[in-house]
Amino acid sequence: MTQTLEKDVTSTLKESLKFVFGYTQFRGNQEAIIKNVFARRNTFVIMPTGAGKSLCYQLPAVVLDGTAIVISPLIALMKNQVDQLNALGVNAQFLNSTLSKAEITKVKKETLNGEVKLLYVAPESLTKEENINFLKSSKISFVAIDEAHCISEWGHDFRPEYRKIKSIIDQIGEFPIIALTATATPKVQIDIQKNLQMEDADIFMSSFNRPNLHYEVKPKINTRKQLIRFIKQHKGKSGIIYCLSRKKVEEIAEFLKVNDIKALPYHAGLDAEIRMHNQDAFLNEDVDVIVATIAFGMGIDKPDVRFVIHYDTPKSLEGYYQETGRAGRDGLEGHCLMFYSPNDIIKLEKFNKDKSVTERDNARYLLAEMSSYAESSVCRRRQLLHYFGEKYADQLCGESGGCDNCHVAKEKLFDGKEKLILVLDTATKTGQRFNAEHLADVIRGVPNEYAVSYGHTQLDIFGKGKEEELKTWLSVIRQALLYEFLEKDIDNMGVLKVAEKGSKFLQRPSPMTLAKDHDYSDTESEDDEVEQNVPPTRSYDEVLYDLLKGLRRKVAKQMSLPPYVIFQDPSLEEMATTYPTTMEELAQINGVGQGKAKKFGKQFRRANLQICGGK
């Protein structure tokens, strides 16, 4: 772009950002990503949930001529986003199996007339011949592929129909593509780009760090008692509880109801009408807690979920990260609690027994990563970011929050210099071609078939660490990875190599602090002392905030919309701080904009005037 054109584009984008979406500035990489889409370049966006991913295609779609096609796997998510865009005054529609023939005809007619700015399409709908022909006749600005990790067989949520998307796009025409995902390991990133034939795409990777989320793992002891205590401490707040089975979902939902907690179940075995009713009740704040299966993606865009609880251990760290990412999408507090037992891992391994050898190996590797995360005493934020190939600069993630390990780790620390030397020496002498389990077996002197066939029983390091148990050495190896003494071989799953930092350490060893893992083998009852949660001091007018929240719920019911579509919590907090009493002042509130101010502002302005009149 020339300098003048660059200024014009910047000005246009900022005007639309404020007028349509109600924000005065972009977050993180948003502006650079949107300008890249404007330049008709292929764009690959890796951005955590809650960082403003959807704006990266919604804003250029609003400003550019034509209709942007958004491919999304979740029908519920499509509806939520379309509702939100319509509330902003943007004509967005979806095309999926829930529509009648008359509704489909109407959507197609509006699209062909150039009235629709964003058209959300399920991948299954995209494959239909009549839809391909319809899209060929439409003026398309670009194609956005949301939840792009579904393309990869190495990802946690693989969908075969996603691998056909590129060939279908090619049938329709030649358009720039923006692929977006919240979770992608380096291996998955490569797979997505290869499948979409966009190896030349400009990559925008935001930090996977979610500073507003607190991560915590507790042992499965008196779990239901712990669950009730936690939810009562977060009374009136929205939360999601994930369980391993449909039966458990039903049991926990019923258990919560008996204990005066407004909760409903949600899983694939429920009748579709009941499932939709339960989801709507959660979105509309008629219930506080939804209990769901881990396997069934909820596909919701609710920004004010304040806690996510994993009653059972998830199948992978990638899945865990995405599920916890549903907390605090509006940037406010989010608590992520997981109850863990090694028995959960054993149960999940049994589910994989009928899979192919390769699938079983991949699943076992993912479960090992999951149990390592739960059992480790190292900062949980550091572990999560490392899994996605990101370095966490701080030693701890904050004394006031962040994660449970950064509060208790000090009592578990020890000097692991000698153990680290032995691990790195073993990796080097075995040729840097093996996984953590094999390295630990060699160190412990286990003469299994691999050790014998590769001649590792003859090495001087064989059996040098036989006095320590397997889990100790696996913990040291895991921490060697986290602190970048070892690195993963991206082409061979599980294989570990000595990193440059590790080679230097072997040449000049120095003291190295490591942490002992948590012990989850003890099944004795825990201390029943209840944590005293001191309510944080609020900077906004709590009376006005509660009034506005009640008004939001009332307006939402009248318009058959979820409350967060009207205004999100951060917007209400700002209103309860600045008391906007004119339409102009209301439009200046972050997340409001002219469209929402005109559509919903009258009653909220009146509420502010009432409070101000009493001051």
The top-scoring range by mean pLDDT among 7-16, 172-181, 575-584 is 172-181
Residue whose structure tokens are 């506005």: 548
Q: Please state, in angstroms and rounded to a whole number, the distance separating the CA atoms of residues 225 and 241.
A: 15
Are 112 and 249 in a shared domain? no
Residue 534: inside a domain, yes or no?
Answer: no
Q: Please state, in angstroms and rounded to a whole number, the distance separating the CA atoms of residues 434 and 492.
A: 9
In CATH, what number is assigned to the domain containing residue 311?
3.40.50.300
Residue 521: inside a domain, yes or no?
Answer: no
Q: How many domains does the chain have?
A: 4
Are 168 and 44 in a shared domain? yes
pLDDT of residue 496: 94
Which tokens go with 232? Answer: 């009562």
pLDDT of residue 240: 96
pLDDT of residue 560: 82
pLDDT of residue 318: 86
Residue 51: inside a domain, yes or no?
Answer: yes
- Which long-range CB contacts under 8 A does 415-418 form with residues at least 24 apart? 415/511, 415/512, 415/513, 415/514, 416/476, 416/479, 416/512, 416/513, 416/514, 417/509, 417/510, 417/511, 417/512
| pLDDT of residue 615 exceeding 50 | no
User: Does 60 or 124 have the greater pLDDT score?
Assistant: 60
Are 271 and 362 in a shared domain? yes
In CATH, what number is assigned to the domain containing residue 596?
1.10.150.80
Residue 573 exposed, middle or buried by CB count within 10 Å (0-12, 13-18, 19+)? buried
The top-scoring range by mean pLDDT among 101-115, 344-358, 584-598 is 101-115
Q: Are 473 and 440 in contact (CB under 8 A)?
A: yes
**pLDDT band (50, 70, 90) for residue 65:** very high
| pLDDT of residue 608 exceeding 70 | no
pLDDT of residue 443: 96
Instruction: Out of 390, 408, 426, pick the residue that ends a domain.
Output: 408
Please report which residue ranges of 265-408 form alpha helices under DSSP H: 272-283, 317-324, 342-351, 357-375, 380-387, 405-408
Residue 389: inside a domain, yes or no?
Answer: yes
Q: What is the pLDDT of residues 236-267, one digit of tens each?
A: 899 999 998 889 999 999 999 999 999 999 98
| pLDDT of residue 610 exceeding 80 | no
CA-nearest of 166, 176, 173 to 138 is 173
- Which long-range CB contacts under 8 A does 466-471 form with residues at least 24 apart? 468/419, 468/444, 469/444, 470/440, 470/441, 470/444, 471/375, 471/517
Average pLDDT over residues 458-477: 94
pLDDT cut 70: percent of the chain above it: 91
Measured between its terminal Cα atoms, the distance across the chain in Å is 53
Are 445 and 323 in a shared domain? no
Interior/surface letters 138-162, b for 16+ CB within 10 angstroms, e for the rest: bebbbbbbbbbbbbbebbbbebebb
pLDDT of residue 532: 35
Say how many residues make up the chain.
615
Are 29 and 97 in a shared domain? yes
Q: Please state, in angstroms and rounded to a whole number, the distance separating the CA atoms of residues 410 and 408.
A: 6
pLDDT of residue 429: 95
Q: Please state, in angstroms and rounded to a whole number, the distance separating the CA atoms of residues 378 and 279.
A: 36
Q: What is the pLDDT of residues 111-146, one digit of tens each?
A: 999 999 999 998 888 888 899 999 999 999 999 999
**pLDDT band (50, 70, 90) for residue 6:** low
Average pLDDT over residues 9-21: 87
pLDDT of residue 446: 94
**pLDDT band (50, 70, 90) for residue 329:** confident
**pLDDT band (50, 70, 90) for residue 110:** very high
Q: Are 589 and 22 in contact (CB under 8 A)?
A: yes
Are 122 and 259 in a shared domain? no
Instruction: Out of 205, 239, 255, pick the residue that ends a domain.
Output: 205
Q: Are 197 and 166 in contact (CB under 8 A)?
A: yes
pLDDT of residue 534: 37
**pLDDT band (50, 70, 90) for residue 457:** very high
Q: Please state, in angstroms and rounded to a whole number, the distance separating the CA atoms of residues 505 and 479.
A: 14
pLDDT of residue 303: 87
Residue 341: inside a domain, yes or no?
Answer: yes
Are 240 and 336 in a shared domain? yes
CA distances from 73 to 123, 234, 290, 294 (A): 6, 32, 21, 17
Instruction: Out of 205, 225, 248, pick the residue that ends a domain.
Output: 205
Are 399 and 488 in a shared domain? no
Q: Please state, in angstroms and rounded to a whole number, the distance separating the CA atoms of residues 218 and 530.
A: 14
Give 48-88 as a DSSP string: -TTS-TTHHHHHHHHHSSSEEEEE-S-HHHHHHHHHHHHHT
pLDDT of residue 524: 37
State the Cα torsion 6-12-13-18 to the nearest 10°.
Answer: 150
pLDDT of residue 609: 64
Are 375 and 273 in a shared domain? yes
pLDDT cut 90: percent of the chain above it: 44
Report the relative pairing of strands 140-145 and 213-219 from DSSP bridges.
unpaired
Q: What is the pLDDT of residues 185-240, one digit of tens each?
A: 888 888 889 989 988 899 999 888 988 999 999 999 999 999 999 999 999 899 99
Max alpha carbon distance in the chain (Å)? 86
Domain that holds residue 187: 3-205
Are 284 and 431 in a shared domain? no
Whether the model clears a pTM of 0.85, i.e. scores above it, the answer is no
Are 597 and 451 in a shared domain? no
Q: Please state, in angstroms and rounded to a whole number, the distance separating the CA atoms of residues 437 and 474.
A: 7
- The mean-pLDDT minimum among 80-84, 268-272, 329-333, 418-422 falls in 268-272
Residue 393: inside a domain, yes or no?
Answer: yes
Q: Are 149 and 192 in contact (CB under 8 A)?
A: yes
pLDDT of residue 537: 47
Which tokens go with 328? Answer: 């605090």
Residue 518: inside a domain, yes or no?
Answer: no
Residue 54: inside a domain, yes or no?
Answer: yes
Q: Please state, in angstroms and rounded to a whole number, the distance separating the CA atoms of residues 164 and 305.
A: 34
Are 394 and 257 in a shared domain? yes
